[in-house]
Amino acid sequence: MDISVSGDGLLRWNGESRSCVLGRSGIQSAKREGDGATPTGSFLLRRVFYRPDRLEAPITALPLTAIDPSMGWCDDPSHGDYNRPVTLPHPASCETLWRDDHVYDVVVVLGHNDDPPVPGLGSAIFLHLTRETRQPTEGCVALDQADLLDLLRHCQPGDTLTVQG
């Protein structure tokens, strides 16, 4: 299945359409670390992380991992773990996956700049949950929880998310 995201803030799959939130800098073809842009391209859905203390495991055929407080994601382009999951504490700059807000209660890791990671071309590009205020992301694609859980029910290994400028 191909999931498409357009610049007008719509995510589409199998005839369905849902409102989504994109990066604060819009959609860009030349993604750089920290630019706030959602990158263009087609990205495999790698795996799903979820907060087991906040919701039951999502129903999906994608690989599924429960988040725990020691999980992070390296966003330091100068470190060998750049754009990789890491165990916290970590010597380099990292995002914490166990967050106080609900944004990462469900996270789909997208295959952006990961095979292999190129330093500086963007890390931690996820499909995750929207903030209550629906404010722009740091470069990810965000959906309301009900919409993301509905989408995941249809996802299979090998599915892609395509962001079009």
How do residues 85-100 score in pLDDT, each as one tens digit?
Answer: 999 999 999 999 999 9
pLDDT of residue 156: 98
Query: Does the predicted model carry a pTM greater than 0.85?
Result: yes
Looking at residue 98, what is its pLDDT? 98
Look at residue 90 and give its three-state secondary structure: coil
What's the mean pLDDT when you consider all of the chain?
A: 98
d(CA 91, CA 70): 13
Residue pair 48/83 in contact (Cβ under 8 Å)? The answer is no
Cα–Cα distance, 96 to 71 (Å, whole number): 6
C-alpha to C-alpha distances, 49 to 9, 59, 66, 79, 104, nearest whole angstrom: 23, 12, 6, 23, 8
Q: What is the mean pLDDT of residues 114-138?
A: 97
CB 47 within 8 A of CB 64: yes
Q: What share of the chain is helix, strand, coil (3-state, %, to 5)?
A: 5, 35, 60
The β-bridge partners of 70 are none
Domain 2-163 has CATH 3.10.129.10: no
CA dist 17 and 85 (Å) reads: 30
